[in-house]
Amino acid sequence: MSGIVQQVHGTALRLNAGGLLLIGASGSGKSDLALRLIDRGAMLVADDRVDITNENGMAIARPPARIAGRMEVRGLGLIAVPYAASGTIRLVLDLDVPPARLPSPGSREFVGISLPCLAFDPFPASAAIRAEWAVALAAVSGLWWDDE
């Protein structure tokens, strides 16, 4: 599927451990969690819409040109923010699905690439830290919940 662009309703960020894609319905907390991650050092790639391409078997996120460097912040409007031109997605957090206490393996496919996916609650105070840990674990071991 190289060369194909899949546009996703979501927010993409670049963290030290790798890229993160937040998916969920409008109002599910994508931008709120993204703001907290940015405050902790993450870099926005795209907010609201994310273009994903398959490059050598890696899912690469980029902002659509007309919204690059823009983020919708409820109560403030569309805000210009520093952004990264791209990021390799290591993990998908699905904000629409209630999380399990102990997660089962999950995945989502984008542009022919299966990515680890975790149901995630973005609203607790610990959400940004848990998201960072989840990306780090996914980057190191793929599906960290394997027993091996």
Residue 148 lies in a domain: no
CATH value at residue 92: 3.40.50.300
Residue 49 lies in a domain: yes
Residue 105 lies in a domain: yes
Tally of domains within the chain: 1
pLDDT bracket for residue 1 (50, 70, 90): low
CB 91 within 8 A of CB 134: yes
Residue 147 lies in a domain: no
Per the model's pLDDT, the better-predicted residue between 123 and 103 turns out to be 123
Residue 146 lies in a domain: no
Condensed to tens digits (0 to 9), the pLDDT of residues 15-36 reads 987 899 999 999 899 999 999 9
> Residue 115's domain spans which residues?
5-141
Per the model's pLDDT, the better-predicted residue between 132 and 18 turns out to be 132
Alpha helices, DSSP H, located in the chain? 30-39, 127-141
Q: What is the pTM of this model?
A: 0.91
Q: What whole-number distance in Å separates Cα of residue 60 and Cα of residue 80?
A: 22
Strands 113-119 and 87-94: parallel
